[in-house]
A and B are shown apart, each in its own frame.
Chain A
C-alpha cells in the first residue's frame, strides 16, 4: 500500500473514529461529577476495614489484589520474554567502551545513586500510607541502580546487579505475592484474603497483608526493570 493511500485511509477512518469518540464522550458523566458508588464506598470503608490511609493502595493490594496478581505475572512474563529474545552467548571479556568522560556528570550522577535508592525504598515502604507503593518505588530503586551505568560504567552496573541475583529476586517477588494468597487459604480464609493482624492505622505496621504484597511488588518491579535494562544494554555493549 502506498503512503498516500494509507494516509487517505487514515484520514477517513480517523475522522469517523474521532466523531464516534466525541459522540461517546458526550454520554459520559460530566467531568468532575462522577457518581460511581464503588469509589465512594471504598473511600469510606478502607480506613476502618483495612487500617490504611492510602485508599488506592488498599484497592491495588487488597480489594482488587487478585487483579494485581495478574499484573505481577504480566510483568514477570514480559521480562522473561525480553531475556529469551535478546539473550545470547556473549563474550563479556571484551571491554565495553562506555566510560563517561565528563567529570561533572560522573560526580553528580554517582552522588545521586544512594539518595535515589533511598527515595525509592521510602516510596515502597510508605506506599499504603502516603502516595507511592511497590510499583512506583520499585521503578525508583531500579533508576538508582541504572545511574551506575548512566553516570559511571556498564561494568559497575553489571557488578552491582548480578544476573543470577536479579533473576532470583524477580522470581521471589512474583512468587511471594502468590504465596501470600495461598497462605491465606491455610489460615482458613479465601485466596488473597487479608488475614493478618491489621495493626495501627497510619503507622508502618498497618494494613495486614497489604505491606507484604506491597513489598513483593516492589521487589518484583525493581528486579524486572533492572533485568530488562541488562538485556538491552548488553545488546549495545557486546554486539554479536
Chain B
C-alpha cells in the first residue's frame, strides 16, 4: 500500500476538479480550487517522507545523525500554502465584484454583457 498517500493526492485533485466543473456558485468554485491545491501539499509532503524519521528540527538532545524527513519539500509546501491563500483572497474579491455587477454568482447564468 505504499502508493496510498500519492493516490490521496490524486483523489483530492480530481474531487476538487469535479467540484469546479459542476459548481453552481462561484464561492463554492473557489473553495473547490483550494481543495485541488491541497492535493499538491499532500503530494509534496508524501514525496519527502522518510519512514521512521521525524520533523527536521534538531533541538538540544536530538543528534543530527538521527536524520529527518526532507526539509526542502516542507519549505516548498509553506510557499504553496501562502500562494494558495493569496489566490483565494483575490478570487473571492473578484466574486464580490461579479455579484455587484451581474447580480448572480451562478457561473451558468453569467453572460458576457453583464460583466
Q: Which A residues fall within an 8 A CB radius of B? A: 3, 6-7, 10, 14, 17-18, 21-22, 25-26, 28-34, 36, 38-40, 42-44, 46-47, 53-56, 58-60, 64, 67-68, 71, 74-75, 77-79, 81-82, 85-86, 129-131, 133, 135, 202, 221, 224, 228, 231-232, 235, 240
**B30 smallest CB distance to A (angstroms):** 13
A sample of 8 more A-B contacts (CB under 8 A), given A28-B47, A39-B56, A221-B82, is: A7-B21, A56-B55, A60-B78, A68-B79, A71-B83, A75-B86, A131-B57, A135-B78
Q: Is B60 an interface residue (CB 8 A)?
A: yes
Known contacts A31-B2, A85-B93, A85-B94; A53 and B58 CB within 8 A of each other: yes
Known contacts A47-B64, A64-B75; A131 and B14 CB within 8 A of each other: no
Residues of A within 8 A of B67 (CB): 40, 43
Residues of B within 8 A of A135 (CB): 78, 81-82
B71 in contact with A39 (CB, 8 Å):
yes
Residues of B within 8 A of A68 (CB): 79
Known contacts A43-B64, A240-B100; A34 and B79 CB within 8 A of each other: no
A74 in contact with B70 (CB, 8 Å):
no
State the CA gap A14–B78 with chains docked (Å): 28
Residues of A within 8 A of B72 (CB): 36, 38-39, 42, 59, 64
Residues of A within 8 A of B10 (CB): 18, 21-22, 25
